[in-house]
Structure 1
Amino acid sequence: MSHTIKNVALVGGSGNVGTRVLSALLDLKFNVTVLTRSPKPFPAAARVKVVDFTSIQSLSAALAGQDAVIDTTFSPDIETPLRLIDAAAESGVYRFITSDFGLDPDLPGVHDLPVFGRKKASYEAVKKHAAQNRLTYTLVACGAFLDWSLASGFSGLNFQGKKASIFGDGDNVVPWTVLEDVGTAAANVLLHPEETVNRPVYVHSVFMSQNQVLGATKEVLGGEGWEISYNDMESLLETALADLKSGNISAATFEVQIQYCLATRKLAHPWARDDNSLLGLEEWDLEKVKTLIRTIANQAV
């Protein structure tokens, strides 16, 4: 049976991913309703509903008449996305895009790491509802966010200090996707409901190793004066998991788990199946990557 998706509810519309998804949805002329906990400014073309995310009843009422829901929230809370999924199924929503936006959820071991516990729970919930024909789902696998990782230092590169913290040997090639491409892909899923039904879709801006990203950075900023350190990711992961267990939790506790994946081929590698062409994305060339690096480096001055 063919489905046309027109009315879309977006959750997390003010976040890094959510703002890009919202922009892409509006560009494609979807009727967008942003669900939010408190009033916030959003583009005039989007409808805004303040809802109680602790209440399935409130969420169900807000989702009445929606064809699709896109969750772009990233808090560690597990119950809220599960409540949202249950409310979507109860309200007759056809397609649910979970807040995954990362590594391949079907690779053994990825969703077993605690940092991905929320994603794992959401994936299991939508699969359960899909098996009962209560909704359909899509997950967007995009690897690491390239622009955000470079700007925040998550990539291990410090442009101003010319320092590089390498994950393992730095040679593992992984998918990286800029946030604008992530937003485009998520919105375009809804234009292809049959082709994307009940599965992850796989997109990327580039496939590069950390060493290749560093090499591009050196071409832009100069190769002299770099301080490079190599990290034993196994021991860092052990420490992070021990800290998590003891309650000695920091941002690094979670970041290290993701960086461990990026250093480990069995957990992160170029997609065997690629949906770039289906979802309107073009792979970047090296010059475009270097332009992005130059722009971010200049902004940091």
Structure 2
Amino acid sequence: MSPTIRNVALAGASGNVGAQVLNALLAVKEFNVTILSRSPRSFPAGTHVRVVDFTSIDELSATLTGQDAVIDTTSSPDVETSLRLIEAAAKVGVYRFITSDFGLDPELPGVYDLPVFGRKKVSYEAVKKQAAENRMTYTLISCGAFLDWCLSTGFAGLNFQEKTTWIFGDGNNVHPWTALEDVGKATANVLLHPQETLNRPVYIHSVFMSQNQLFDIAKEVSGGEWVATSNDMEPILQKALEDLRSGNISDATFVVQIQYCLATKALAHPWESDDNRLVGLEEWRWEKVKALVQDIANKKAV
């Protein structure tokens, strides 16, 4: 029988994902939340803030003593941060560790072969090793692409100001998108179902939709003439990988790898087994997606 999880430590609470996870943990009102922070800063009432040296396993271990669960939402490219958190948590008997994954299905062949997911791959292997040795249990959150973040930042290929769109492949691949608020809620609710979420990815989504479907909504809500450019993602991916090997690295080097996945059915498609109901999520209706796109389009027009 799984223990009841009450004491929860959260790393990365000021980030895009971490802030939503923190809000959801506090909304549940069943957790004692400790925030691990690199420096003194303000967080919502009802939390305990511990300034900790993330480079010290001894200090992390001392800080994590007495915690039932650790949620890693850090996004540093340095995988050692996550590995130290995992090692420290296992060392002091933390029961559940939620890794900083929040992406595609790690069980699909080919996903973790791409360098952009190297940090996630190493973390996944580390928690599985701890679980195999009965030192700790784990959960991953597989949520596809962040719906609101991708629309707001242009990651989804839509430029609301210039009315242009950069299509990944033919734009027709349907895959999961999850709003950050839903990611936060699902992550918190995993801890209410420790047995059902034991040592596995938890699969969630706000909507299953293609890039072209999002583009159609964007055209509908914003009006005007849009210009779309379709892109063969294979040579673009190969160019990014060559740039990575040669050290000619930019943000696009990594962005392209994820966009390639979203265009490829073998790497991104609706979950075969979905956990929305388990973690308290409802699939969005078309009108809710449309309202989000409209809100983002209005903000971009200002």
TM bin (shorter chain): over 0.9
Correspondences of 1:19-168 after superposition (within 5 Å): 19-29=19-29, 30-168=31-169
Is residue 281 from structure 1 mapped to residue 274 from structure 2 by the alignment? no
* Letter of the 2:257 counterpart: Q
CA distance in 2, matches of 1:2, 1:269: 32
SS at match of 1:108: coil
Q: Deviations over 1:111-142 (max 9, x none)?
A: 11000000000000000000000000000000
How far apart are 1:274 and its partner, in Å? Answer: 0.2
Identity among equivalent positions (%) equals: 72
Normalised by the size of structure 2, how large is the TM-score?
Answer: 0.98
* Letter of the 2:16 counterpart: N
Q: Is the 8 A contact 1:104 1:110 kept in 2?
A: yes
CA distance in 1, matches of 2:44, 2:164: 39
Correspondences of 1:191-202 after superposition (within 5 Å): 191-202=192-203
* Letter of the 1:117 counterpart: G
How far apart are 1:232 and its partner, in Å? Answer: 1.2
Q: Is the 8 A contact 1:103 1:142 kept in 2?
A: yes
Give 5+ residue unaligned stretches, structure 1.
none
SS at match of 1:111: helix
Q: Is the 8 A contact 1:216 1:286 kept in 2?
A: no
* Letter of the 2:286 counterpart: L
* Letter of the 1:118 counterpart: R
Corresponding residue number in structure 2 for 1:246: 246
How far apart are 1:262 and its partner, in Å? Answer: 0.1
Q: Deviations over 1:198-238 (max 9, x none)?
A: 0000000000000001011111112x411110111101100
Is residue 228 from structure 1 mapped to residue 236 from structure 2 by the alignment? no
* Letter of the 2:142 counterpart: A
Q: Deviations over 1:22-79 (max 9, x none)?
A: 0000111210000011111101211000111111000000100000000001111111
How far apart are 1:85 and its partner, in Å? Answer: 0.1
Q: Is the 8 A contact 1:97 1:137 kept in 2?
A: yes
Q: Deviations over 1:232-260 (max 9, x none)?
A: 11011001111111111111000000000
SS at match of 2:111: coil
| Structure 1 residue runs of 4 or more that deviate by more than 4 Å after TM superposition | none
Correspondences of 1:158-197 after superposition (within 5 Å): 158-197=159-198
Give 5+ residue unaligned stretches, structure 2.
none
Corresponding residue number in structure 2 for 1:214: 215
Q: Is the 8 A contact 1:129 1:135 kept in 2?
A: yes
CA distance in 2, matches of 1:101, 1:273: 17
CA distance in 2, matches of 1:106, 1:75: 23
* Letter of the 1:20 counterpart: Q
CA distance in 2, matches of 1:165, 1:75: 27
CA distance in 2, matches of 1:134, 1:66: 14
Which one is further off, 72-81 or 116-125?
72-81
Q: Is the 8 A contact 1:24 1:187 kept in 2?
A: yes
* Letter of the 2:169 counterpart: G
SS at match of 2:22: helix
Q: Is the 8 A contact 1:176 1:208 kept in 2?
A: yes
CA distance in 2, matches of 1:112, 1:50: 35
Q: What CA RMSD, in Å, does the superposition of the two structures yield over aligned residues?
A: 0.6
CA distance in 2, matches of 1:135, 1:2: 12
Q: Is the 8 A contact 1:147 1:178 kept in 2?
A: yes
Normalised by the size of structure 1, how large is the TM-score?
Answer: 0.99
CA distance in 1, matches of 2:17, 2:95: 22
SS at match of 1:277: coil
* Letter of the 2:18 counterpart: G
